[in-house]
């Protein structure tokens, strides 16, 4: 329940402050000339909220794939709980996430909140590209839905719920196992900010 309250607070704060903050957060990353306008709008909003930024060259690169550790960071920042990352840095429960890895705190926070899980072999695979099924699952959980509340098998149950609450609106993918790119992730996260919290 704490997740949903913080998530709701972030959404409300974002709606109220978007017009006021201007460039108080990171500068808006440069977008490609042919980028879909809905992706541009999503990146503008998420950039203003400090959720996403550009790559080293200042460009957003909507075509690049998102890794599991990058998505953990996006998720934690979207929920407005990034301030808890410093305390969570260090040892994780995964044998492939070094305590010194930049993402260890984000992974620990996301796991502690029940938003993301590792694999049965004890790994997290931080550098593996996140699939649409994984990204959608984490975003649905961020809205307060738990595994036991969704009927059916994974990932269809999460994708169905995501469709119901419009997380997947305007996001085009042909398979749940397909890897998610930065443009699609911006749309998914932006749509999640607009979705109703499960109570």
pTM recorded for the entire structure: 0.85
pLDDT at 18: 36
Two tokens, residue 136: 């959608």
Query: What residue spans define the domains of the chain?
Result: 2-20+65-194
Q: What is the DSSP letter of 195?
A: S
> What φ, ψ does residue 179 adopt, rounded to 5°?
-80, 140
Whole-angstrom Cα Rg for the chain = 16
- How crowded is residue 7: how many other Cβ atoms within 10 Å of its Cβ? 21
User: For helices 182-194 and 2-21, what crossing angle results, to 10°?
Assistant: 100
Q: What is the mean pLDDT, run by run of 10 residues, along the chain of 199 residues?
A: 50 39 60 93 95 92 96 95 95 96 97 95 98 97 93 96 97 96 97 92
pLDDT at 135: 98
Q: Are 186 and 40 in contact (CB under 8 A)?
A: no
């Amino acid at each position: 329940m704490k997740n949903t309250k913080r998530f709701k607070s972030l959404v409300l704060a974002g709606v109220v402050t978007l017009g006021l903050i201007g460039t108080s957060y990171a500068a808006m990353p440069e977008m490609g000339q042919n980028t879909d306008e809905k992706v541009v709008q999503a990146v503008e909003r998420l950039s203003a909220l400090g959720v996403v930024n550009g790559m080293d060259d200042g460009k957003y690169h909507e075509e690049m794939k998102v890794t599991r550790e990058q998505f953990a960071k996006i998720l934690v920042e979207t929920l407005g709980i990034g301030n808890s990352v410093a305390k969570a840095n260090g040892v994780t429960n995964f044998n492939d996430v070094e305590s010194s890895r930049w993402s260890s705190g984000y992974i620990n926070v996301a796991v502690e909140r029940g938003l993301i899980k590792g694999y049965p072999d004890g790994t997290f695979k931080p550098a593996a590209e996140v699939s649409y099924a994984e990204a959608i699952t984490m975003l649905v959980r961020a809205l307060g839905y738990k595994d036991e509340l969704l009927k059916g098998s994974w990932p269809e149950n999460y994708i169905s719920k995501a469709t119901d609450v419009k997380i997947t609106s305007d996001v085009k993918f042909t398979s749940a196992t397909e890897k998610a790119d930065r443009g699609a992730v911006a749309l998914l996260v932006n749509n999640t900010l607009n979705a109703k919290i499960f109570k």
